[in-house]
Amino acid sequence: MPAMKIDITILADNTAASSYLAEWGFSALIETGGCKFLFDTGRSFTALHNAKLAGKDLSDLEAIVLSHGHYDHTGGLTDILKTAGQNTKVIAHPAAFNQKYAVRKPGARFDYIGIPCTKEEIRAKKAELVLSELPYKITNEITTTGEIPLKTSFECPDESLLETKNGNYFPDPFMDDLALVINSGSGLVLIAGCSHRGIINAIMRAQQITGVNKIRAVIGGLHLHSASNKQIELTAQALKSMGVEMVAAGHCTGFNASCGLKNALGDSFSLLTAGRKISLS
């Protein structure tokens, strides 16, 4: 297939370009083949504000994909749906709506960090809620990963992040963690929200479901902010051995990991900021 032109605008991230707003969260607008998709919605109104600043119209979105059920990726959803109009697809894993908490420090109370709206509230905005454990094909070239198997020896969900059921708290397995995969014709473009089940696991899942091995770009949060130096080193080695041409990371990647990945990957690594525009072809 011929190479596709893909334009990606970062609408929410922990840091921001001049005049844009920053927040702890993530959102990216993807435009390709005449279609427009939003991947995550940030924590608050920031994605909407930054979209206007970037001159991006969100009233004609094909779909909104939620990477997982944390508030910093879903908090802007209901306001964006007011702009997006009726019948916009909201695509997520069913477990994204589970009750989710975080332990900030030992002995502290659990903080609720789940989606700040219900499925009923989303449907009330006239959105089409699509919940799938399996890869969900949006177009012939664009799909979600669905559930991501844990295959590497060094990637696993953060045990300080919890789910609760029937009053019992347990480490969140992040079955809802998914990435967006675009088969660009010149390799796969993978967009990740937090990579709670591991960015290398996500890449391998993308290769498995598409049958394409070449990785053109990995963009998004890599959740390495509290990772050991060894995990950062192994992640960098895996990205190099997989031949990933471009890594643009932000949000939960973390300072130490960003420095380590930059040292290992050189010019193929860069940082994301709200307002940044990435064009691929």
Q: Would you kindly state where each structural domain of the chain is located, as residue ranges? A: 6-280
User: Where does 185-228 have alpha helices with state H?
Assistant: 199-210
Most distant pair of Cα atoms in the chain: their distance: 55
Q: What three-state secondary structure class fits 241?
A: helix
6-280 — its CATH code?
A: 3.60.15.10
pLDDT in tens, 203-244: 999 999 999 999 999 999 999 999 999 999 999 999 999 999
Q: Is the dihedral angle over the CA atoms 254, 259, 265, 268 positive or is it negative?
A: positive
pLDDT in tens, 40-77: 999 999 999 999 999 999 999 999 999 999 999 999 99
pLDDT in tens, 134-183: 999 999 999 999 999 999 999 999 999 999 988 899 999 999 999 999 99
Tell me the pLDDT band of 1, cut-offs 50, 70 and 90.
low
CA of 269: how far to CAs of 64, 171, 265, in Å? 27, 31, 6
Burial class (CB in 10 A: 0-12, 13-18, 19+), 240: middle
pTM above 0.85, yes or no: yes
98 contacts: CB under 8 Å, gap ≥ 6? 69, 114, 163, 165, 172, 176
User: Where does the chain have alpha helices with state H?
Assistant: 46-53, 71-74, 77-84, 119-124, 199-210, 229-241, 255-265
pLDDT in tens, 79-127: 999 999 789 999 999 999 999 999 987 777 899 999 999 999 999 999 9
